[in-house]
Chains A and B, each alone.
Chain A
Amino acid sequence: MVQQVKNFARRHGCGLFVFLALSLLSLALHRSRVINLIHCQVYSGLTLFAVLLFLASFNARKKLPFLPLLQASTWMQIHIYVGWFSVVLLFIHMEYRMPSGPLNTTLAILFAVVSVSGIIGLWISRTFPQRLTWRGENVIFERIPAIRFQLKQEIAALARKAVMESSSSAIGDFYVTQLKDFFDGPRHVVSHILSSNKPRHRLLSSAEAIQRYLSPEECNQLQDIMELVRLKDDLDHQYALQGTLKCWLFVHIPFTYGLLLLAAFHGLIALAMT
């Protein structure tokens, strides 16, 4: 275990060092013009393609957990630093200019989408788990619909009971106008991602506002309803954040494959032209 913690720190240090060393070496080679311009673009392009292939192989590693191919966390660190290095390489390859022509522009956009999605993925992988840990019950993503359905049944039963036991329709109206839709599915996904408590606060305020129309018994029932609202909101929070943690890969990985295909095509054309 101690070794694992030390390894983690060592990996970060090594990664940063290798990234800086490789980047500085590449920049120095490029600026010194040891290689002529055309060859420089061929070499930087081939290196960049190889680097992209290596970056994509991280996904293959995940499919082969039974082979002794280093820990996935080591791969992850290498993936991050080599990813940064690929950005440096791309700038060298593009001669620090904006891309021209539809193919190059598409390639650059694809590269940007993959890089930005990777950076966002890294950021949310480091920040969302903390938010997930300290709010609501830790639930398995696939179980969320079942829990949501259970909450939906409970809130409907509570509302029905409140209406049946009193001659008042206040809780029933509140359920129909505001709660039913809230409990029907995942809600306020964007607010949860952006860490906003506004929808939750608004719903709870609405619930508090109707208290003046309720009997003491109904007030007790409303408290139970508000507790379910909090639980549902926490569940939505888990859904939104866990969903985002899963979904960003659906951008990052397909665009990587697109990028690789187009880069291969671009390379063939470029080599044919030279």
Chain B
Amino acid sequence: MAEDIAGEIDKPKRWAIPFASDMTEADVDAILKIPPFSHIDPSAFSPLVPLRGLFLNDCRRQRYQRGDIIMRAGDYGNSAFFIISGSTRLVLDSLDEGLLGRGTTQRKTFWQALSQLWKNPTLPEVQNLEHVQQDHRLGSRKKEGGRAHIFLQDVPHVLDEHRTARVEAGDFIGEVAALGRTERVGTYFAEEDCELLEIRWQGVRELRLRSPEIKAHIDRLYRERSLKRHLEQTPIFKHLSQEDLEKVAAQTQFLSFGTFEWFGSYKRLREKDPADRLAAEPVIAHEDDYPNGIFLIRSGYARLSESYNHGEKTVSYLGKGQVFGYDEICYNWLRGKSIPFGRTLRAVGYVDALFVPTAVVESFVLSKLDRARLSNNLPSPRIKSEASAYRQDAANKLSPNMLEFLVENRVINGTATMIIDLERCTRCDDCVRACASTHNNNPRFIRHGLEMDGFMIANACMHCADPVCMIGCPTGAIHRETAHGQVVINNETCIGCATCANSCPYDNIQMVLPHRPEGGLYYDKTTHLPIQKAAKCDLCHEQLSGPSCVRACPHDAMIRADMRDVDALATWFNK
């Protein structure tokens, strides 16, 4: 007889926490009768992740009433929706921020800015939540399972004022954002009472992987809705005609690498040694492999490395919009050679890429270019025998230590990373005081963080290019500012669920307990627990003068760096 041993537990399983607790076998039966799900072959699914289990655990049925907002443009989603019944409306132009539950940023006037000198409270986190008023054009209602829906009060008015398109039962919506970790591109609301099946991203990926019907369905939608636009925006395809572009799009493949929710494993990986960390990064293309196509990074970041003695040396990183493999294919085509990939491309966390086969690149891209001109501007891929180097490599600009550090700690994600030159910083904390002065006496960063070669990456929101903190915010309170792209929190719609703070891989979001102006905390009327709110750096988007931390530093010791701009970064590091 097996004995119980202290500390033994069941190994956590993928579906330990289902997406919804109210999915039943009857629901699954009903869903499996609806096309395209009715065409799925259950035997294609692994016994560990069976089809029925997927619908039971990765899906939930959501009922929406007329006017309920299903998703908002600009939000980061981690699920796709399938319309079971009823119809929804896609808003083709943009709704104003108030209607999307986001605050509108109003810069302070000179007088309002100055009055902070005497109006800043002495107590921490003083907020006036009693006077918070929701936009009168919006309502909210709580649904079964405790899920809240925000709805438009005046649907006919929205239909009159905005261009919209009907999306009916049998279609997916939000699948592109869910698969590619991109922003939702459209706002959808229920045109009439309708039912949708919400599938979390893991489920969508599994369905797409195991079922050719679903893959074809989703890929068709992506090709119709987004792919052509994406290719048009890629410089190497800019000269193609619409007809050629369509042919390229038809042969483009969609690939995903790594874990979508990489922020969970990131902290554990940080404890491991560099070789283990590297091994945990999925290989997209391997050095010495034949270049069978180009990879266009759609979202996430990839590490470029090359073998060096017994290890791998990071030489650069690629982000959204950048291309891998073009130089090798171009070189081979012009010279009639077949050099392999010069570097290994790995997903740092998560990468969503488009793959265009070599034959397609040669037929539609290279053959349309002036051969002589192309030959003059021949790119110089890394050919081991010739030992040439990419001039654009970050490794040529940043020290190897620094480059490895930035990539491994995924600091490359930041668009406004706070970097402090410790050899200039006198630790005077003028930056912290300035931050506090511009945020009601509450500093929104800590002058503390990772260090490398005399530089510190301080614990301040980096306003990431891939803001994983935005995934799963139930009210859309954390969002990107439309004007300048800062990731900010709308205090009025933040419900204090801490999803963003738990998701931030860099621990740059804090949960705070707001105080009443007269002292004391706020409490929830139902639970009687203290109200909490998420707080983080907002790059002083309401202030007249931009980020006060950088402006307050008397010693030029601090910058807010866009990590995508390697040249500027190198200038700062090597100054």
Contacts and interface: CB of A to CB of B under 8 A. Distances in A.
Interface of A: 1-2, 4-5, 8, 62-69, 71-73, 75-76, 125, 128-130, 132-134, 138, 140-141, 242, 245-246
Interface in B152-200: none
Contact of B422 (A66, A71, A72, A133): A133
B280 to A, nearest CB: 28
A68 B546 CA distance: 8
A1 B545 contact: no
Interface stretch (B128-136, B500-508, B515-523, B565-573): B565-573
15 contacts: A2-B571, A5-B571, A5-B572, A8-B575, A62-B434, A65-B438, A66-B114, A66-B544, A71-B550, A72-B551, A129-B423, A138-B448, A138-B451, A242-B427, A246-B428
How many interface residues does chain B have, given as a range? Answer: 35 or more
A69 B548 CA distance: 11
Given A134-B454, A138-B422, A140-B448, A129 B427 contact: yes
Interface string B540-575: 000111001011111111010110010111011001
Nearest to B556: A73
A245 B571 contact: no
A62 B431 CA distance: 10
Nearest to A124: B426
Contacts of A133: 422-423, 454
Given A62-B433, A129-B427, 16 more contacts: A1-B572, A4-B556, A8-B575, A63-B437, A65-B437, A67-B545, A71-B551, A72-B430, A72-B554, A73-B553, A128-B426, A129-B425, A129-B426, A133-B454, A138-B456, A245-B428
Contacts of B567: 2
Contacts of B447: 140
A130 B557 CA distance: 12
Interface string B205-216: 000000000000
Q: Interface on chain A toward B: helix, strand, loop, or mixed SS?
A: helix
Interface of B: 108, 110, 113-114, 116-117, 422-430, 433-434, 437-438, 447-448, 451, 454, 456, 543-545, 548, 550-557, 559, 561-562, 565, 567-569, 571-572, 575
A67 to B, nearest CB: 6
A245 B434 CA distance: 18
A133 B424 CA distance: 9
Given A5-B575, A76-B555, A66 B569 contact: no
B552 A62 contact: yes
Contact of B559 (A1, A72, A128): A1
A63 B556 CA distance: 18
Contacts of A138: 422, 448, 451, 456
User: Which of B108, B116, B437, B556 has the most CB atoms of chain A within a 10 A radius of its CB?
Assistant: B556
A141 B448 CA distance: 11
User: Which of A1, A132, A140 has the most CB atoms of chain B within a 10 A radius of its CB?
Assistant: A1
A139 to B, nearest CB: 8
